[in-house]
Structure 1
């Protein structure tokens, strides 16, 4: 089934569809009001003069049903770049049809084309359905490392010294 799913790199003009899918992901992840991104901010980060963030869209040209948003990182241990999958989302209407697998296959192809050693991502601890899917494709949870973050007032305070 995944061979028939169209996957393409997002391009200028796709900002609205990317934002729609990001908002749907936020609803799925139980944080419907968390999205601060706008079509304008997505245009700047995805399609500006030196984009550092990229997105693959799956499904029909006019109304994509899947999104893989990613960027390149680096592993000092492997001495090679890595890809970080920030978001993977498939609309309810298209789940179970191979869309997520097709997006991850395209991301794996991109990783190999860029000589990346790996693809990394995070999964919410309650999302057992996603974890089961990731295990089925051969991924494994990491242990020993905890995700950490600094943002908002703490980030500003750190920058200010």
Structure 2
């Protein structure tokens, strides 16, 4: 007699999932060794992900009804290709569910939804020290881009930049 295989589903996240989503992000921060980088709150996610003008969407993976993983993503556009795409901001799979293709299922679902909406590409960033994630993405055909690097400005430096007076004469 064989045991029943666990039922794996991928569904859209809802506002009722916010605490679970936030917990997953905190665990992701721990996993990559940067828990102090996660300063968002569950209320931030409620406001900016499920409010009047959502800044992101989520997919939730469940195994037999238990949270197994998360993919937080949002639409982007390539002026070079003239087509939309999707940016995966966070992909997280609970340790006990790794090796069951949960991450792949989440990414394929995001790609499928993007393609349905006319999208032609998926973009994401990988923590520079996360060799396991790099190998996982490469195995799926999500290759490292040798002609781009991520630049960013955050916190007080961002506020100073945004608030600096513009010299209209130049």
Q: 1:36 Cα shift? A: 1.4
Confirm or deny: 8 A CA contact 2:69 2:93 kept in the other structure: yes
String of CA shifts for 1:77-129, please: whole Å, max 9, x gaps.
01111100000010111000110111011111111111112000011122111
TM-score (norm 2): 0.88
Structure with greater Cα Rg: 2
Residue number in structure 2 paired with 1:158: 161
CA separation in 2, counterparts of 1:141 and 1:73?
18
TM-score (norm 1): 0.93
Count of equivalent residues: 159
CA separation in 1, counterparts of 2:139 and 2:162?
42
Q: 1:7 Cα shift? A: 0.3
Runs of 4+ in structure 1 deviating by more than 2 angstroms, as ranges, are: 60-63
Aligned partner of 1:40 among 29, 43, 49: 43
- What is the RMSD of the two structures over their aligned residues, measured on CA atoms? 1.6
Residue number in structure 2 paired with 1:69: 72
5+ long unaligned stretches in structure 2: 1-5, 165-170
SS at match of 1:108: helix
Bigger RCO (CA 8 Å, 6+ sep) = 1
